[in-house]
Amino acid sequence: MCGRYASARKKHELLEEFQVEQDASPDQELAPDYNVAPTKQVYAVLSRVPQDAQRAVRQLRVLRWGLVPVWAKDPSIGSRMINARLETVAEKPAFKRAFASRRCLLPADGYFEWMPVEGEKKKKQPFYIHPEDDGVLAMAGLYEFWKDPTRADDDPLKWLVTCTVITTQAEDALGHIHDRMPMMIERERWAEWLDPKLTDTEQASRLLVPADSGRLVAYPVSTDVNSVRNNGPHLIEPQQPEEESALF
């Protein structure tokens, strides 16, 4: 699963990188976050057709990580919906409607996974996984709108917009760390993936092609990332694995 990631690029960089036409959250500028965790606010790139418009417009929005389905009684379910498995995303009740027309890209610099420490039942070594060229990761995501029945119609918090990360089986080079990884969308498929008029789930599924083997690199990092209270660029600095440092 993908349960933590880093997203430190500034908004203007993402607007340019993803060729965004509209800043849909103009009053929100997220601080660099090296320990993005579930329920946090995150940037998402998506395309929607504005009222009285003829075509979809690519937007950058601030959403909450942890998808809340339209049928949910309350938003607490979102903390358990941070990932959607590629193998079942088109059939699962929580995700199938969003997969049909509400797909997005979740920009990241890299993500974290944990590998059990040999000989230690409860210890796990965190690894930071990122593009070898330090480029941006466009993680495949879904977003959903949830209407809070306890709030008045004119309440600005009436609608909650949330998202989830689609995951797939990890490539061989990374599978020894964790058997799952976020699904990436390559640049040439961004437009089609984001197109809300593409409602054929079989066609959408064909866009989910694993990243080329070897594009991502991984190295051990500090266990400080284990706590969501910790943040900062030191969390992605290479560290000596715990089992090795214990020998010295």
Active site residue: 2, 104, 144, 163, which one?
2
Tell how far CA 122 is from the center of its chain. Answer: 27
**Residue 181 belongs to what H/E stretch?**
strand 180-182
Tokens representing residue 170 in the block = 């990890």
Kindly give, in sequence order, each residue whose CB lies less than 8 Å from that of residue 10, ignoring residues fewer than 6 positions away.
Answer: 29, 32
Active site residue: 29, 91, 113, 186, which one?
113
The phi, psi pair for 73, rounded to 5°, reads -75, -30
Tell me which residue of 180, 208, 223 sits closest to 105, measured CA to CA: 208
Query: 113 catalytic, yes or no?
Result: yes
Strands (E), 29-174: 33-36, 41-48, 57-65, 83-85, 103-108, 110-116, 124-131, 137-147, 159-169
CA distances 205 to 53, 87, 181, 190, 191, Å, are: 27, 10, 17, 13, 14
Catalytic residues: 2, 113
